[in-house]
Amino acid sequence: MKEQLLARINDRTATVGVIGLGYVGLPLAVEFARAGFHVIGFDVSQKVCDTLNGGTSHIQDVPSAEVAAFVASGHFRATTEASDLASADALTIAVPTPLVKTHDPDMSYVQAAAATVAQVAHPGLLVVLESTTYPGTTREVVLPLLTSAGYMVGEDIFVAFSPERVDPGNPVYNTHNTPKVVGGITANCTELATALYASCIETIVPVSSTEVAELVKLLENTFRSVNIAMANEMAIVCDKLGVDVWEVIDAAATKPFGFMKFTPGPGIGGHCIPLDPHYLAWKMRTLNYRTRFIELAGEINTAMPAYVVEKVAHALNGIRKPVNGSSVLILGVAYKRDIDDVRESPALDVIRLLESHGAIVTYHDPYIATVRDESDSHDGPAAGEPPRLRHSVPLTPATLSEADVVVIVTDHRSIDYQAVVDNAALVVDTRNATATVRPSRASIVALSGRASSSS
């Protein structure tokens, strides 16, 4: 079975199925299609499938022209019918792995995807889980559904884990040139998964097990979470000392060894960094160990939106205005610059907290026209009531001058920050976006240390 599948991978006659066509799955499907495979993309959303089959991409990093070309050539099609996956020689699972309110992993999407795979499984099938999760998921959740059907792993069916490393909006690193870690249940599983990904990704990094591969992703993002928390706490320290944290960090970054630059901000967002450390912490709690360092970093990062709101309140107090009744314009609601993704964005927490204090909040984001507001109360909208939509307002001299305070939460490069300070009366800058603008009308309050008065 291994040799037959390996031959089909090498000569590109294998059919590849991708389960989940979001930020991870669609770019991966496009890479497989570009490599010459026939790709079946599966998603539970009929709208997503219809859009893709019509040649239009819903993911910012995947051009519609590429999707249209692969659909036209027959190398890619999207479907909501699980039975269509039965013809696949390899299946990758790239579905969400959110957390429940208690910060325990919600494995329902992975379990549903694995159950779908089990329904269409056949001898000679390679299954690779890419969804970020706790160590042991592949072996404990995915594998039993396949072995219970009588398949022998490593002989007539092959199972591996390969963590997604997608960085939306990154102009340098994408799915093709980001090294791919691969770990199989057996050596044969690793060999086949390595061959599959080597067909379309530049560098493959095989590891000894699925658990190692699962832990690699958690280490990567826990490392980032902890270091961002250190930068955030340093911002608070510098603020209390009256020192510009950005100047401190830039000076420290001149050291050519022993220091890696991380910067503070209003909090952390996206699907990975706010969530991944919790997978590891949860797994360790099941083993009677508390990851105190990781949990502390999470507490610091989670508290940053409240710190930003406190800065806004102090800034308004400085001009003799309360938060209650003040108009606040938020610049940027995406979780990071130059993307259209609001998942776990700290901007949403900043908006919610400001409104809980009575502020009248609007936002502008060049990438996000509307945001679903699911935080009208602590538990979200009332039962039976749909979440209301927030709409991005135009960024004009009028909208800037009419706001009592403008808060820069996400520093999109396309925003003219000189125009912001030329027209706004008060700016709270959480990203150091105004560091190089000329002094103008606005009073600028930084995340820590730096403040300037209007000229």
CA-CA-CA-CA torsion sign (255, 261, 264, 265): positive
Please say whether the beta carbons of 144 and 150 come within 8 A.
Answer: no
How far apart CA 455 and CA 449 sit, in angstroms, is 19
Burial of 148 (0-12, 13-18, 19+ CB in 10 A): exposed
Helix (H, G, I), strand (E, B) or coil at 330: strand
Question: What single-letter amino acid sits at 446?
Answer: A
Place of tokens 């502008």: 364
- Containing 223, the helix (H) or strand (E) segment is helix 210-241
Give the closest residue to 29 by CA, choosing from 69, 88, 76: 76
Cα distance between residue 214 and residue 258, in whole Å? 27
Torsion angle (degrees, nearest 10) of CA 157, 1, 30, 337: 40
- Residue 60 to residues 26, 34, 116, 338, Cα–Cα distance (Å): 11, 18, 28, 10
- Token pair 């699911």 is found at 374
Q: Name the 3-class secondary structure at 253.
A: coil
Q: Which two tokens stand for residue 195?
A: 């061959």
Q: Is residue 272 annotated as a catalytic residue, yes or no? A: yes
What the block records as the tokens of 447 is: 């995340």
Identify the active-site residue in 49, 200, 238, 272: 272
Catalytic residue list: 272
